[in-house]
Each structure stands twice: as structure tokens, then as C-alpha cells.
Amino acid sequence: MVLIDISYLRPDHLSCYGYRKKTSPFIDRLANQGVRFDNAVAASTQTDWSIASILTSTWHDISLPTNYGNRTDSVLQFQTIADFLKYYGYQTAGFTGLGDVDSFYPFAMTGFDELKSGFETLEPRQRKTIDDWLAGLKQDRPFFLFLQTCELCEPYLPPRQYVSILDPSLKPQDLPRDLKINKARSKVASRYRNFSPEFVPDPAKMTPQEIQNLISFYDAEIRYADDMLKNLFQALRQRNLLGDNTLVIITSDHGTGFGEHGAFLNNGLHYEIAKVPLILYWPNHLPAGKVIRGTVRQVDILPTVFDFFNLEVPAQAEGGQFEHRHNRTGYGRPYFNHGFQLAENDRDNF
């Protein structure tokens, strides 16, 4: 199984979800040959908490401390999908773009035979690390690959050719002032300026054209990430690791705002932040081109996967299988975001 989380990815900026720009030809192909969920809701608008729910199928108490490094709170004792799959003989690896995994996540990233950070982007060096792990896999055992990348995190600095693909008239100097950085600084080094006040754009100080330029650079990042995923899948295919034996899941831990409700990035609980893409690709097992419009949650991913694989769903799982949920309009548990709940009347937006 391959589980890919692309942080900050909005479904309404993917071509397969109806976006006017051709931002995602490779992801579109997977969606056309798999199942696309039109109303998938993130477990949180914060990356760490969403990933915790994806990998453990659990919700998290809103009173939890924010000091994750002490590893004393009960939430940290949950097992991950990697733990369970490893028990069944899977070879497991996690590659994440969120810095020190032992201090960032609010739970222990256990169960991974190999766990590495530094995947803020999907450039050749990062892809080689993944390919080296793939090369060492034993062909007689199944594998689980988890990839989390921040390729779409600000600042938006895609290779110039990807900007030209979507908007030939746009130039690097068109990036709004608040998001310009010293060219000598790498994109990776800039990731941790995400929450500094001078780095977060203020919609009240930006013209409509500046906001549109910002969106164009974001779209170019998606196009670049799409190509990088295509390269990763080519490596899987070359090693005979991609086919009807491998389930692929593509999602995001949250979306991003472009001033629609007075804020940028993942600030707030509005649809542009809380709705995420969810695509399942598994040839000869899942119906090609199927679109499910009912609401599903990220805590439902683990139980669904185990149902697919005819494995016992762990007792800790608080989610349910997609097939039992996609015709429902409500939630079994509220949507949490560090103590904030999505209001009942806002749920109609999904």
C-alpha cells in the first residue's frame, strides 16, 4: 500500500475535481482509473493532528498539551497503521516533510522499519532515498509506504517552467511582496517561517491581482508536485511494485485559504481549509471512475483499508468503512481542531 499526504492541497484546485486549469494530469489519471471522494473532510486544520487521525483512526481530546516531546500523554500510546501492518508481515517506511518526527507529531510514529524526515519537497535527492528503500524490498512480502510532503507549503517557488505551463504571462517578480524571499535561501530552509507574522500575507493589503498571482504560483506548485508523483510511480512500476496488488491513497491533511474568508494558509475552519482530496487507486479491485459524493472522514481510512485487505479492524479505530458511510450526511463524532468544533450549520457546506 502507498499512502500519500500532500499538505495544503485543495481538491478544488485539481483538474479531476473540476478546476479550470490543468494542474494535475497524473493525479487525474489515477482518479479516472480509481475512486474519487468529493466530500472528504480533514480531521483537523493542523497537519500533525490530521496525520495522527489518518494513521491511528482516532480522534484526539481537545485538552491535550501542545508539548508533544514528552511522550507521556495517552494519545501517544495509540498504534499506527504501520504497527498493525508490520504485525501482518508488511515492510514499512515513512518519509515525512515535517522536521523532527520525534518532536513534531502528537503521537509516536511507531511501526516503521525506516522513518526519515526532510521530504519538504519531492526533488531528486528525496526521490532517491525512497527508491533506495524500494530497491531493498523483499519481493515475497507486502509493503507499506507512507509519504508526507510539504511541497505546497508557502513560499510558492515552483521551477519556472511549471509557472509557464499554466500561465505564460506570469513572471517570478509577480509573486506578492509578502511572499518573496532571498534567492540564496532554499525552499526547505524557508518552511519554518510559515507562522511568522511578516511572512503570512494580509488580504487587506493585497490587490485582487496580487492574490490571483499568488494562486497561480500555488497552482504551478501543484503541477510540479504532480510530475514528481508521476516519477515516483514510474519507479514503483519499474520494480513491479505497482499494479493490482498495490492500493494507492492520495489525500491531504488540510487545504489552504486565499483570502476567501479574510485569511490565508490554514487559518480558520472554512471549507477551503477543511475539505481535502481523497483518491483511491487499486486496479481490478475498485471501480474505475467512480465518484462518491457522501461525506467521509480521515479516521475512516484505516478501517476501510483493513476491510479491503480482509484484516481485523483494530479495536482502537474510531472510524468506519467508507462503504458504510458514503450515503450519510452527518458525523459520528464532531470535527476537532485544537479545541474548536465545526458548527452544526456549517456542515452543510460539505
- What whole-number percentage of the chain has pLDDT above 70? 71
Q: Could you tell me where the beta strands, DSSP code E, fall in 68-168?
A: 91-96, 114-116, 143-149
Q: Which CATH architecture has domain 2-349?
A: 3-Layer(aba) Sandwich (3.40)
Q: What is the pTM of this model?
A: 0.83
CA distance 34 to 92: 24
Domain map (residue ranges) of the chain: 2-349
Q: In this predicted structure, what is the pLDDT of residue 322?
A: 79
Q: Could you tell me where the beta strands, DSSP code E, fall in the chain?
A: 2-6, 35-41, 91-96, 114-116, 143-149, 248-251, 257-258, 264-265, 275-281, 290-297, 336-337, 340-341
Amino acid type, 348: D
Q: 3-state class of 292 per DSSP? A: strand
User: Which three cell numbers mark 277?
Assistant: 482530496
Render pLDDT for 55-65 as a digit per residue (tens, 0 to 9): 998 876 544 44
Render pLDDT for 139-191 as a digit per residue (tens, 0 to 9): 999 999 999 998 887 777 788 889 889 888 877 666 655 444 433 233 433 33
